[in-house]
Structure 1
């Protein structure tokens, strides 16, 4: 609906029928009128969702031209025919490319050469968009694989060590149930091996005869690591490890030197590693540190002086984590007797996120001053008084994100990704021996993008309890601080996930319309270290919601924003935040966009049979066994706290095949909102019937999804037209 739409032209929303059922826990009974919408195979459910889509289309028809304009802006700024920077593995350079008009990427490689000149041998070949690459071999064309299928997504790619085989996983429904296939890269033919219903992650054994993969249980929890021997029946695949604790997540990776299979079992609070020596036939899994020690850690093997050690990134007496070096033989002793050598000490101001190794160096991922960056240490002298200080690639901007993109074990360089709110993604090669940075690519933004026309700055809002909340505030440089500008506030705030600085072509469409775009780094995320996360989880979860409202109040007081023209947006757990904020302060927002929103959290987490529910206990608490957790969640879970209030314009966007946040949650929430609201603003539900947690597949389909969400918000804010720049 647009501001000009006459009231009598607004269609009537579909009314979900009521079929009350009771849910009783800890002496509390909740009557749920819309739980029947969970019956995914019920024709009445699909009919209702179809009717909701028709209503949404009718209500937002006036935004169609705006959506098309935003989509075109995204498309016209994007280099559609493009290539990634080739990355070397053994005797090949691997890269992906996209072509104009095609939805999906194409995976390719060209042969590498070894001349003995390290600088030359590790300088990627020049690849130019639109120009054929001499000697190119197409490994996988997503466009061909997706033909005739409603959905297409890859869940993993792996190339054997000798470069002769490619394993990949394909999803054609959006439910993250992948099929594993193996391609002979010499003949181009698929092998007869095919494994259905696998999860993310693949890996070849060093000799290329076996493929490791994971399997989920009925609640969509990865619980098994299995191995398929090529040429044998799938029924004979061996279960290498099975995790029966419903609150633990299982995954695996191959060590950097490809000598060990590392199986990780854990939660956000503690973990356990099982390792398998791949160089010794008949070797069995061994445990490094038992979960009973309640240590959260990651492990990577490394040989120093011919002795096997493990680099541990851990939180043992280190809330923000630290790095230690431990000889492999130490793990046979009780923990209290083990000798651990400190490599990176604990620092209250620095969060250590992980470590990777090459043959010569240790590469650290750390977060300081809210931003993520990379540090490098030479393995020579590691853990001794001769250990050198870590080197850190230097960049000019303050609000940046720098990550390790690739670190092949034998490579003399590591590859870094770099971006900021105003700088498009860059790829650098960092020479380990000298610290030299070589810029390999900066993503081109078409249409005359000029970063000096925009400002990205850090502001600090004060929460009700006095905590200072970091905000990233983006705006056009020519906006006036006169309290007249529209704003969109975005946040996530869960699972220690940080909303790091990053460039967005799509976001320019909002900024160019004069919208101040704000990322609120609320508690529950990881921007300010482990304590920041802990202050926004379990019985502190409400801080996430009140932080968002306090951030909004700060913006109003800053003089940049019109209090009558503020929209809010968030997805998944950030969608729960949107639902909570709608109940807390509906009067502060002109519109709310809730993407795949986790708004019926208590119902979901009370049922351990539902997908991923048991894994959520570490984040929210266990309301099944703990009456205090139940009471606390009952006070904020959005669906159960909808009240008689004048709710703003709300769009709930979901996918029918989402396995992480089921469509039923926003469907129930929208029905309840419509029943309780005392206002006249439309509340709509948009369901992608062939999509998953990330929406529809394909880059053009994703751009259309973003354009829809942005148009909904911009229309509500009265910011539909691009304003000319004063410096033009």
Structure 2
């Protein structure tokens, strides 16, 4: 039996606030929590944190030992596999006891002296949050641009370092995405600015080094459902502006040797036409859904004649195979596919003398191409891992078809043996008869007698697929008898693009009912029982958690909802909130009554009832740019007001971070340890 601190939970004050749309009135008594600067809001969040800490005080020693156990499996003095780009080998490494990465490079040979680019540990001193992104080296290798965020709100400041003098230049560009790209003159930098309120990336600027000229706005995305970014083609010939929404793309191109020139539209946007472009040998290769190619096909056109009616098919559309990505090399085309949920990597010579797939022999693995920045090479880098197999980075010679493992993730601590664990793929039947796949892992020897604790995880939105991956952190659950399940619900793209289409907009409820159907299947097949079943999801996966506890609370003993998107209707009606307008193609626009009513029918906050709910741990980030902190805060306040049980309900807000939680590699593990302690405590496991 878990302990209680005896402290009464915080009760948030209620101020009636009426929200009216389409003649429908909703009353939101916690709307006042939207002001992040108001002392009462901050005090409420602090009170919730204090309550959570007091209630979980008896697990503090266990949390500490879990943290040490998780940390002990990680190789602290670790480094990435070096990759070569433009004459230099680039390396990222971690040092023992330090939270942040160190970036270095070596000229031509790995035997040459190491040159320090950034020590993020020094840069992060005195800061509660730190993230460095968007490292971009000038073509002459003399300068490097980078972005820094010190709040977790994903508003980055771009700076430039002179690699000859080792000095950071005075240029400071605020409120950007953090990434930037160099023209071939080594003097011109292109970057993306964000709207300061909505955080939408929408303006592309040209920055000239060493001049007092104000940065020139060269492109502004006028449609607030679109975002924009800028990058350089792998061939290094083109600077490319990409405009993107959920359903539509548009690209603009400029020769990188002519940075003062005018960008040309590649193919004007047509609603529903998705495409991406890669440049090679006088042609653009286009991954697209043109002509109802739901699972995408590959086409090409001359770089000088890009009209859509001149696009030629290279790889046709296939009903059963999702074409996910391509990597272009001088002699090879590498195609990343997904067939029946499984990753496939196909290698094809341009002259058609070779065409084959890499062999994988598992049903619960993840394989994907990694850092392949060199163009003229026969080596392909790819990563492989599985629920029971640590990650490895493999270098594959595409000509000889031989491979070399460059690095295998070490699991320290001495007692890990992958043969001690079992993984399988099983299928449940959804309400409408659709078969829903699950990837399952557990310790060998477990009996399926309904007594096992089981953690069921899913995301299920934006076509984002959670592949079955290895986790050293997860071993702390598996070794204590937990079964872990990744549920591949509709809304992701596990079974192709249609899998996504069937879990969004007016079919969104499929995501929720799929998850519940999988829970019922796991109980029926005696993997677990409702006394021992737990569910977890974050962000849009937190919406999933909110929906399932309204639909079938009796199935679950405990829920972890991380930074959950739970106030769907109110958020989607507020276009001043970051990212709202770009989400209309995912959830629908509630200014349309049809979408309003459908959203309202599943929005977790709007559907809380007076009934019993499972034990719950809810997390939030005060500076979250994706899901505003007030969504989980309001949700917990309303749940506490309405629920009829005596189960645990905790809200833990990180007052220093945003959507991704803590920034240091060990600080984030402390959050994992707290979440696992919550689950294990509910199972009466304390060591």
Q: TM-score, normalised by structure 2?
A: 0.97
- The 8 Å contact of residues 277 and 284 in structure 1, kept in 2 or not, is answered as no
- The 8 Å contact of residues 536 and 559 in structure 2, kept in 1 or not, is answered as yes
1:289 partnered with 2:287: no
Match of 1:312 in 2: 286
Q: For 2:344 and 2:193, locate their aligned partners in 1 and report how far apart those are by CA, in whole Å.
A: 33
Q: For 1:517 and 1:346, locate their aligned partners in 2 and report how far apart those are by CA, in whole Å.
A: 35
- The 8 Å contact of residues 513 and 720 in structure 1, kept in 2 or not, is answered as no
- The 8 Å contact of residues 158 and 178 in structure 2, kept in 1 or not, is answered as no
- The 8 Å contact of residues 78 and 95 in structure 2, kept in 1 or not, is answered as yes
1:244 partnered with 2:222: yes
Determine helix, strand or coil for the equivalent of 2:127. Answer: coil
1:534 partnered with 2:501: yes
- The 8 Å contact of residues 530 and 554 in structure 2, kept in 1 or not, is answered as no
Q: For 1:668 and 1:175, locate their aligned partners in 2 and report how far apart those are by CA, in whole Å.
A: 20
1:201 partnered with 2:167: no
Match of 2:476 in 1: 509
Q: For 1:21 and 1:293, locate their aligned partners in 2 and report how far apart those are by CA, in whole Å.
A: 37
Displacement of 1:533 in angstroms is 0.3
Q: For 1:282 and 1:651, locate their aligned partners in 2 and report how far apart those are by CA, in whole Å.
A: 53
Match of 2:463 in 1: 496
Structure 1 segments, 4+ long, off by >4 Å, are none
Equivalences for residues 395-410 of structure 1 within 5 A: 395-407=360-372, 408-410=374-376
Match of 1:171 in 2: 149
Q: For 2:37 and 2:474, locate their aligned partners in 1 and report how far apart those are by CA, in whole Å.
A: 37
- The 8 Å contact of residues 515 and 719 in structure 1, kept in 2 or not, is answered as no
Determine helix, strand or coil for the equivalent of 1:561. Answer: coil
- The 8 Å contact of residues 148 and 178 in structure 2, kept in 1 or not, is answered as no
Determine helix, strand or coil for the equivalent of 2:530. Answer: strand
Q: Which moved more, 1:262-271 or 1:32-41?
A: 262-271
- Could you say if the C-alpha distance between residues 12 and 519 of structure 1 is closer, same or farther in structure 2, counting changes exceeding 3 Å? same
1:553 partnered with 2:549: no
Q: Which moved more, 1:707-716 or 1:98-107?
A: 707-716
Q: Among 19, 44, 51, which residue is 1:48 paired with?
A: 44
Q: Among 334, 341, 346, which residue is 1:363 paired with?
A: 334
- The 8 Å contact of residues 486 and 719 in structure 1, kept in 2 or not, is answered as no
Match of 2:3 in 1: 5
Equivalences for residues 346-361 of structure 1 within 5 A: 346-361=317-332
Q: Show structure 2 runs of 5+ residues with no match.
A: none
Q: Among 365, 375, 392, which residue is 2:357 paired with?
A: 392
Q: For 1:568 and 1:369, locate their aligned partners in 2 and report how far apart those are by CA, in whole Å.
A: 25
Q: Write the deviation string for residues 127-149 of structure 1: whole angstroms up to 9, x where unpaired.
A: xxxxxx86111110010000011
Q: Among 302, 319, 328, which residue is 2:303 paired with?
A: 328
Q: For 1:45 and 1:466, locate their aligned partners in 2 and report how far apart those are by CA, in whole Å.
A: 46
Displacement of 1:282 in angstroms is 4.4
Determine helix, strand or coil for the equivalent of 1:108. Answer: strand
Q: For 2:154 and 2:10, locate their aligned partners in 1 and report how far apart those are by CA, in whole Å.
A: 30
Displacement of 1:4 in angstroms is 4.0
Match of 2:661 in 1: 695
Give the aligned length: 683
Match of 1:83 in 2: 79
Displacement of 1:435 in angstroms is 2.5
- Could you say if the C-alpha distance between residues 604 and 462 of structure 1 is closer, same or farther in structure 2, counting changes exceeding 3 Å? same
Match of 1:450 in 2: 417
Displacement of 1:228 in angstroms is 1.2
- The 8 Å contact of residues 246 and 583 in structure 2, kept in 1 or not, is answered as no
- The 8 Å contact of residues 146 and 179 in structure 2, kept in 1 or not, is answered as no
Determine helix, strand or coil for the equivalent of 1:406. Answer: coil
Displacement of 1:161 in angstroms is 1.7
Q: TM-score, normalised by structure 1?
A: 0.92
- The 8 Å contact of residues 136 and 181 in structure 2, kept in 1 or not, is answered as yes
Q: Which moved more, 1:185-194 or 1:593-602?
A: 185-194
Match of 1:272 in 2: 250
Q: Which moved more, 1:396-405 or 1:463-472?
A: 396-405
Q: Among 223, 226, 251, which residue is 2:205 paired with?
A: 226
Q: Write the deviation string for residues 335-378 of structure 1: whole angstroms up to 9, x where unpaired.
A: 4xx23322111111111112232222222221112122322222
Report the aligned-residue RMSD.
Answer: 1.5
- Could you say if the C-alpha distance between residues 453 and 499 of structure 1 is closer, same or farther in structure 2, counting changes exceeding 3 Å? same
- The 8 Å contact of residues 146 and 178 in structure 2, kept in 1 or not, is answered as no
Q: For 1:36 and 1:57, locate their aligned partners in 2 and report how far apart those are by CA, in whole Å.
A: 25
Match of 1:411 in 2: 377
Equivalences for residues 120-199 of structure 1 within 5 A: 125=110, 135-199=113-177
Q: Write the deviation string for residues 209-253 of structure 1: whole angstroms up to 9, x where unpaired.
A: 1222111113111101112111134x7112221101011121222
Displacement of 1:558 in angstroms is 1.2
Match of 1:670 in 2: 636
Match of 2:64 in 1: 68
- The 8 Å contact of residues 658 and 693 in structure 1, kept in 2 or not, is answered as yes
Q: For 2:183 and 2:389, locate their aligned partners in 1 and report how far apart those are by CA, in whole Å.
A: 39
